Amino acid sequence: MQNLTIIGNLGDDAKQVDLKDWKPFLAFSVACTRKNKAGESLTQWYNCRTSNLALLEHLTKGKKLHISGRPDFSTFTDKDGEAKVSVNISVDRIDLI
């Protein structure tokens, strides 16, 4: 089993998603920023989802989080026609920092 752990900031408030034939869940994006050897900031975005609906009021834009969960990867084409990889996390644990 794979597990991915990240520390980052919420890019926007979490949203509750209600889909037919699915249990409701929260969806949110987390940004992790680091500096490369040249001192430039590089940001990686992670799309996250959790079934813990009680966290909705706490998952607000800018909050720092420690997250761990199961990763899954998908590809998409951005607005410029470039192929990109999306990193999605089914969250098992969230800690507010």
CATH code for the domain in which residue 34 is found:
2.40.50.140
Q: What is the pLDDT of residue 11?
A: 97
Q: How far is CA 89 from CA 40, 56, 81, 93, in A?
A: 26, 17, 25, 11
Q: What is the pLDDT of residue 39?
A: 93
Closest by CA to 58, choosing from 7, 9, 14, 17, is 14
**Which residue range is the domain that position 57 belongs to?**
4-96
Which amino acid belongs to residue 4? L
Question: Residue 94 has which token pair?
Answer: 């969230």
Instruction: Please say whether the beta carbons of 7 and 66 come within 8 A.
Output: yes
Question: Residue 18 has which token pair?
Answer: 């209600």
| pLDDT (tens place) for every residue of the chain, 97 residues total | 799 999 999 999 999 999 998 899 999 999 999 999 999 999 999 999 999 999 999 999 999 999 999 999 999 999 999 999 999 999 999 999 9
Q: Count CA atoms closer than 13 A to 32's CA, side-chain side.
A: 14
Total structural domains within the chain: 1
Q: What is the pLDDT of residue 22?
A: 86
